[in-house]
Structure 1
Amino acid sequence: MSTPPRSRRPQRALSALAAAGVLLATAACGGQASATVGEVPAYGAALQPELEQQVSEMLVTGAAVDVRSPELGDWTTTIGTRAYRGTDPVQIADHVRIGSVTKTWTGTVVLQLVDEGRIRLDDPVATYRPDVPNGRNITIRQMLSMRSGLGNYTTSPDLSQRMDADPGAVFDPEELIRIGLAQPVEFPPGQGFFYSNTNTVLLGRIVEQITGSSLETEIERRVLTPLGMTGSSFPTTSGALPEPHPQGYTYGTNVETIDTNVLSPEKQAAARAGTLAPIDVTLANPSWAWSAGAGISTADDLTAYVRALAGEGLLSPAMQQTRLDSVQPTDPADPASAAYGLALARFGPYYGHTGELPGFNTFVGYDPQSGTSIVVWASLAPSPDGRPPAVEMAKTIIAELAGAG
């Protein structure tokens, strides 16, 4: 699979997009104890053992799946437990951190402001942030689509060290922006694709500048409340996770995996043998991710959200079409590469996003043609061999649905 450029681990900690590519590949099959809710359609019965085997192979503690298909039927399942070596089963209503799916919340608010005539996609960022180098030549559109060329603040070794030393640390968005703007640019504006969280943090601050209120308030008012997402929130300084929730785990520290998500062969073997326990990062403060990844949600809320994100209900019809049309391959020479647009990704026929930060991995996707939505989350990120569990599970689900359709 062709994928967008990789960056250092805290970049991974916000998005599994780089590992997602076009989610059409098949994955391995097999089994772990699980719970299934409601009548099981044929595709669900086929998928259950495959997903259980994947969860077992990737050492995932818990995972949840919510598929809604008008043609094939709806299917919801959970696998595993809320805690490492625990007995309390994962529940579909559990709250999890959604990582870079949060980018679509922030991007949606920006596009709503465009709809309202309060900002334009082709405005230079210098109009709002004179501190951005070459900001007169970088547009809001390029920042939303990760084509600004701005460096990524989460590649900073110092940031990784601070996160490891103090998981409860609260980071101010302006500090994150300063770190990001100090990074080398990747290319001239519009001349490539580079997944940079600096773009989204800048956009979050621009939303606050235009509206005069906090991004938390705007996301709540414009996205969560209209869609009835009562289990979702955008915390700005707290590391708390609402009950009920699973524990979130990772096997490597930020510093240890700064260049790659793949742990050493020795650590992988120890994890598989059970002699290396995962690190519990459930309450690590996500303020370092802010508008790029600090969101919290549930499977049910994410299902309602992704159907609106790639369907209707959040933007005007014209703006929604602009958003869908904006999604283009990240590698122009490879039409099969992962596609990205205005804070929106596409995986085969599914529009949505992936999300990853230490302890949690999420996939959300919706196919407007078939009306099928897929939501997957896992309480481990990444697996010891570097794979994003929810994305790997989503690959398997997409392949099965394609064969069953």
Structure 2
Amino acid sequence: MRRLGATGATLLLALLAGACGSGEGTPPAPAYAADLTRTLGTLITDLRIPGAVVMITSKAKGNWTATFGNRALGGTDRVTVDDHFRVGSNTKTMTGTVILQLVQEGKLGLDDPVSKYRPGVPNGDAITITQLLDMRSGLYNYSEEDQFNVRLDSEPGHAWQPDELLAIAFAQPPYFPPGGGFHYSNTNTVLLGLIIEKLTGGTLQEAFRHRIFDPLGMRNTSLPALADADIPAPHPRGYMFGTNVSTLKEAALPAAEQAAAARGSLLPNDVTDANPSWTWAAGGAISTAGDLTRYVTAMIDGGLLDAKLQKTRLDSIQPVDPTNPNGAGYGMALARFGPLVGHDGQLPGFQSFMAHDPDREDTVIVLTSLYAAPNGTQPANALAMAIIKALYA
């Protein structure tokens, strides 16, 4: 890990402080913005977030956009609202949306077994399309495998093929029988991506573009080819404390390293150029705050699916823990965050959050250029929770 002395600590704190509004000619900031700016600024400093974009759309409280920090540690180039970020598992909602569009078109059924479309899947005759969407298939999550993470660290430029990922997953026993529990697994969404390609006869990139990005005017959103590790300009650098191996079981750094990070003498690694192909259908998309606002609003309010299937999707969200009905909910590639519905995403270098309240028509987007804080906190989620608290106070 790269370390800096006291001068570096002072510089880092200076970079993290302060926020920029949305520029001249924009409406005045809403009443909640001043207090929220201070709250978010404190979190950004405490969590060591190099850069962030916040976009809030609220009929009740007013719209507000802010940017924090710089594109690179040690630099002076500020993050802007137009910056592109990797959005991680928010991509799962796109894969899920296309799958449901194919259901709507009669090309597959929610109760179809995965074996109908992909041979060789453990318990494939008993796992349904719905269970893949709901994370209730029981299939092993390839990204939890030890040697896989060793390769992510030792071969960051490797372009992973979906079949490589499935081979890792299928070599491990399932967590439980199909429908027997909940376990978040990228394997489910990679399978769904392959099913999309089989049924459409094209690439997943083409399906996203023709079915979601172009209809919604998302001109700054893409799913790169597997060999493409670039991010369109402008974009921040992406950072990560530790490595894939060291953070696999526990995202938090050891206590001594957390203290060093708090002093600014321990900085995160720049992992921007690592190839994210291992996330593909489960987490490979790149987007901006404006495009995600447009997307998550349409995804939750309607417009990408017919009314019946839209209701089925929203109604599918169930508690992850049945003993805690008020806890986190998940269903058909959607997560519930209190009154808002959407998803979040995390992969080395970036963490993001997008959600929309269909009743109040509030939308919250947070993009950060950090995988996890030194204490293991997901940075975009922490900012999003503070925003939601301010909006619903």
Residue segments in structure 1 that go unaligned for 5+ positions in a row: 1-30
Instruction: State the match for 1:16 in structure 2.
Output: none
Q: Equivalents in 1 of 2:139, 2:315: separation in Å?
A: 23
8 Å CA contact 2:142, 2:165 repeated in 1: yes
Residue segments in structure 2 that go unaligned for 5+ positions in a row: 1-15
2:217 is aligned, of 219, 224, 228, to 228
Deviation at 1:301, TM superposition (A): 0.2
Deviation at 1:270, TM superposition (A): 1.6
SS at match of 1:267: helix
Q: Equivalents in 2 of 1:324, 1:105: separation in Å?
A: 15
Instruction: State the match for 2:36 in structure 1.
Output: 47
Instruction: State the match for 1:255 in structure 2.
Output: 245
1:35 is aligned, of 20, 27, 35, to 20
2:316 is aligned, of 317, 322, 326, to 326
Spell out the pairing of 1:165-204 with structure 2 (5 A cutoff): 165-204=154-193
Q: Equivalents in 2 of 1:166, 1:270: separation in Å?
A: 28
Please report the TM-score for the alignment, with normalisation by the length of structure 2.
Answer: 0.94
Q: Equivalents in 2 of 1:205, 1:32: separation in Å?
A: 44
Q: Equivalents in 2 of 1:174, 1:337: separation in Å?
A: 34
Which amino acid letter does the alignment assign opposite residue 272 of structure 2? T
Instruction: State the match for 1:358 in structure 2.
Output: 348
Q: Equivalents in 1 of 2:302, 2:122: separation in Å?
A: 36
Structure with larger RCO (C-alpha < 8 A, sep 6+): 1
Between 120-129 and 79-88, the greater mean CA deviation after superposition: 79-88
Q: Equivalents in 2 of 1:347, 1:233: separation in Å?
A: 25
Q: Output one character per residue of 1:280-333: Cα deviation in whole Å (capped at 9) or x when no partner.
A: 011111101010000000000000000011111111111111000001110111
8 Å CA contact 2:122, 2:174 repeated in 1: no
Instruction: State the match for 2:82 in structure 1.
Output: 93
Q: Equivalents in 2 of 1:188, 1:133: separation in Å?
A: 10
2:139 is aligned, of 150, 174, 178, to 150
The alignment status of 1:265 with 2:226, answered yes or no, reads: no
Spell out the pairing of 1:266-345 with structure 2 (5 A cutoff): 266-345=256-335
Q: Equivalents in 1 of 2:273, 2:298: separation in Å?
A: 30
SS at match of 1:138: coil
RMSD (CA atoms): 0.9
SS at match of 1:64: strand
8 Å CA contact 1:176, 1:198 repeated in 2: yes
Deviation at 1:271, TM superposition (A): 1.5
Deviation at 1:236, TM superposition (A): 2.5
Which amino acid letter does the alignment assign opposite residue 397 of structure 1? I
Identical aligned residues as a percent: 50
Deviation at 1:85, TM superposition (A): 2.6
| Runs ≥4 residues deviating over 2 A | none
Q: Equivalents in 2 of 1:359, 1:51: separation in Å?
A: 20
Instruction: State the match for 1:113 in structure 2.
Output: 102
Q: Equivalents in 1 of 2:169, 2:215: separation in Å?
A: 33
Q: Equivalents in 2 of 1:303, 1:220: separation in Å?
A: 17
Deviation at 1:277, TM superposition (A): 2.0
User: Greater CA radius of gyration, 1 or 2?
Assistant: 2
SS at match of 2:389: helix
SS at match of 1:219: helix
The alignment status of 1:385 with 2:370, answered yes or no, reads: no
